[in-house]
Structure 1
Amino acid sequence: MQLGAIFLDNAVVNIEFPAADQEVLPGVQWGSIDAFPSPAYWAYQVYARRIIGTKINYKLGSTLKEEVGACLLGGHGIPANVGVAAFKKMKALGVFGEVPPHEDTLHVWLSEPLQIAGKDVRYRFAKQKAKYLAAALDKLQNDAPPSDSGKSLRDWLLAIPGIGYKTASWAVRNWLDADDVAILDIHILRAGLIGGFFDTKLTVERDYLVLEQQFISFSQALGVRASELDALIWLEMMSSPKSVHGILESLTLSPTERKKSFVPRRTKQRHTDANQTTLLI
């Protein structure tokens, strides 16, 4: 058994986890709760955020139109800060109101420089994204989207040009807080490769739904919500590029060499929150 302690002012919350050598899934060990990025590490971080009250707020819009628009304007080679800036500009211009602008108008607005940290930044793929955004707004304006499950809304969104599984899943997870879909971007895929919960023979282009089910099964085995886990893994993997690349490089070594080369990164080194955890192993 492993024991994690979370300190909240004068209170201490203890959480028990299986031993590091126990399997969370067939062939996948829990690992140590202070070894980034082991399965136990992810489970511990989700529980710690819940208790401390620092759950990741991943919703971007206040309406489904805004949420779909925000996700369409981000991803696919567009830096997060650029996508958010473009979304905020479109929102300020009234793009997500009752009367959607014409595609040509959207193209003009998206072609204008964005102000980010005092600098002019060009938004990539302005013409293409204007076309996709116009189609999305038209469908959302004229059709009634389902809301009974994440997958049903995702299937509905997939009919919109320019929206694939990742973008649709992103919008659905954000809007419905859905746990029956997963956003399989490069950060989640790397975590699955390192953690061993993804089949390395599968690709997101051909096998999105199979990989998605593997991720959902992994979250269920950890006892956490898929939506929370997805957001947490994305944030931590994105924030730790050097650690991630070092671990990925170690995967090309033999098992003996890999064991010698991998040194778990301590959790207490990864957080600046004064209320964050102290670990008892």
Structure 2
Amino acid sequence: MQRACVMLESMTINVELPPAEAEVVPGVPWGAVEAFPTPAYWAYQVMARRIEARSIQYKLGKTLREEVGACLLGGHGIPASIGLLAYHHLKAKGAFEAEAPEEQTLFQWLSEPMHHEGRLVRYRFASQKARYLAAAMRKLAQEPSPEQSGRALRDWLTAIPGIGYKTASWVARNWLDADDVAILDIHILRAGVLAGFLDQELTVERNYLALEAQFLQFSQGLGVRASELDAVIWLDMMASPLTVGATLNALPESKFKAKHAPSRARSQRRDTDTHQLALLG
């Protein structure tokens, strides 16, 4: 048995975990709790947040339309702060109300310069995202969304142009606090390969559901909620670019390493903006 502790102001709480050599899922040992990024390390991080009452809030919008809008405006190629800025910019103009504006109107709004940290910025993919947003708002206005499970909502959302498994899972996790989907971004993939619970030969483009099943099995093996684990791994991996980069560089050469190891320039950046968690992608 491994023992770790969480120190609070008035007490110390002990956390017990299985031995390092025990398997959390077949073929994946728990590892040492103090060794980043072992399964035991991730289990401890989730438990420590629970004990310290440092819950992570996912939901961005007050309606599903707002949540879909926020997630569509973030994601790959969009800095989280700019995605949030664009979301609030469109929300202030009524983009996510019952009477959704036309695509051209959304494009005009997204093309407007926005104030960010003392300077004017522009949203990069205004035309593309305006098209996707218009289609999403039409579907949400015309059809009742299934909300009996995260997976049902996720699969329904993937019928919208521009919304793939990751974005749809992101919306479902945020909106329903769902534990039956996983948001498989690069940080989760790196953590999974380093800890051994994701198959590095699989890709999100071709094998999203298989990787998701591996992630959900892993969270069950740890005995923690998938939504908690996803968020904690994302925050920790984002906050430790140099450590992550060094650990990945120590791996044997592979297709995964060639494609996903961070460059030295990117590894020098340290970004712990908690707003990015809600817009993770």
* Range class of TM-score, shorter chain: 0.7 to 0.9
Q: Give deviations 1:58-82, integer Å, cap 9, x for gaps.
A: 2111111111110000002111111
2:167 corresponds to which letter in structure 1? T
3-state SS of 2:16 partner: strand
Select between 205-214 and 18-27 the one with higher mean Cα deviation. Answer: 18-27
3-state SS of 1:15 partner: strand
How far off is 1:11 after superposition? 2.1
How far off is 1:9 after superposition? 2.0
Runs of 4+ in 1 over 4 A off after TM superposition: none
Match of residue 47 from structure 2: 47
Does 2:163 correspond to 1:166?
no
**Ranges in structure 2 where 5+ consecutive residues have no aligned partner:** 254-271, 273-281
Match of residue 88 from structure 1: 88
Q: Give deviations 1:176-228, integer Å, cap 9, x for gaps.
A: 00111000111111111111101121111110000000000000000000001
Match of residue 259 from structure 1: none
3-state SS of 1:4 partner: strand
Query: How much is the aligned-residue C-alpha RMSD, in angstroms?
Result: 1.3
**In 2: Cα distance, 1:206 partner to 1:17 partner:** 35
Does 2:212 correspond to 1:216?
no
Match of residue 236 from structure 1: 236
How far off is 1:127 after superposition? 0.2
Match of residue 155 from structure 2: 155
3-state SS of 1:129 partner: helix
Match of residue 5 from structure 1: 5
Give the total of aligned pairs.
Answer: 254
Aligned identity (percent) is 63
3-state SS of 2:115 partner: strand
TM-score (norm 2): 0.88
Does 2:73 correspond to 1:73?
yes
The higher-RCO structure (CA 8 Å, 6+ apart) is: 1
2:107 corresponds to which letter in structure 1? H
**In 1: Cα distance, 2:66 partner to 2:34 partner:** 38
Select between 163-172 and 120-129 the one with higher mean Cα deviation. Answer: 120-129
**In 1: Cα distance, 2:99 partner to 2:118 partner:** 31
How far off is 1:7 after superposition? 2.0
**In 1: Cα distance, 2:164 partner to 2:245 partner:** 27
2:65 corresponds to which letter in structure 1? K
1:88 corresponds to which letter in structure 2? H
Match of residue 247 from structure 2: 247
**In 2: Cα distance, 1:45 partner to 1:61 partner:** 27
